A = this chain, B = another copy of it.
Amino acid sequence: MALWTQKPIKGVLLDITGVLYESGNGGGNAINGSISAVLELNKLGIPVRFCTNETQCTRRKLVKKLHELGFSMEESHVFPPIPAMCQILKKRDLRPHTLVSSAAMEDLSEIDCSNPNCVVIGDATTELSYENLNRAFQMLIAMENPILFSLGKGKYYKDAGELCLDVGCYMKALEYACDIQAEVVGKPSSNFFNAALEDMGVEASETVMIGDDIVNDVGGAQACGMRGVLVRTGKFRPQDEQHSQVTPDGIVDNLAQAVKFIIESKN
């Protein structure tokens, strides 16, 4: 397959949910072959970073859960949106009104949230009630220059076997309500991918991103100059293989198959 051999693969970015494990009750389950696939990349000496739009818990808890499922990775190799968001807020001197899962608030604890001059929304599930979204709207519409950050722009994710509305839908609702455009922090933002590439010290053209989100993982990586590979796990749906806007560089059954191809390309 040309994808794997057209240029050496010197770095790999992995989505987490739907690629490493399937979420579900009791923390979910590792996807068959994913634990050893990550170990094999390590053995090959290929740097790996984990790019996730997960905002339903802190990075620390997320890594702890992955360790419990059997994965091994350093916490600093996991890139969720909230630490990136904190950097932006500090740099631009912004104080957010946050609509983020309360379980993830710890990662925002260093941020001044008094007298807000922007709104940050994340994948907050049941906390995205009418009342809470309405409050975020009222804050925005009262601002002279409304600033909305969205931690990702996914349409839906899969949880316990069911597709569920993701933060992107609520971003669209607030964009429409206030006639504004949100700034996306997380995939598919190129700043977000580039931070992980820089951390690996690998060029985009020598990196493959593997994910289950055709638009945000695959399309987002391609827009940054990476190769984008779609897995048939997680929220993958058969119609993704004929997507109107994104054509993956490769489609594989799962992460294990992707890593098998990477190993074969080295020989």
Contacts and interface: CB of A to CB of B under 8 A. Distances in A.
Interface of A: 124-131, 133-134, 137-138, 141, 155-156, 162-166, 168-170, 172-179
Copies in the complex: 2
A126 B131 contact: yes
Nearest to A156: B177
Given A156-B141, A173-B170, A177-B155, A165 B126 contact: no
Contact of A130 (B126, B134, B141, B156): B126
A237 to B, nearest CB: 9
A163 B135 CA distance: 10
Given A138-B162, A155-B176, A172-B175, 11 more contacts: A126-B129, A126-B131, A127-B130, A129-B129, A134-B165, A137-B156, A137-B163, A156-B177, A166-B177, A169-B174, A172-B173
A174 B178 CA distance: 17
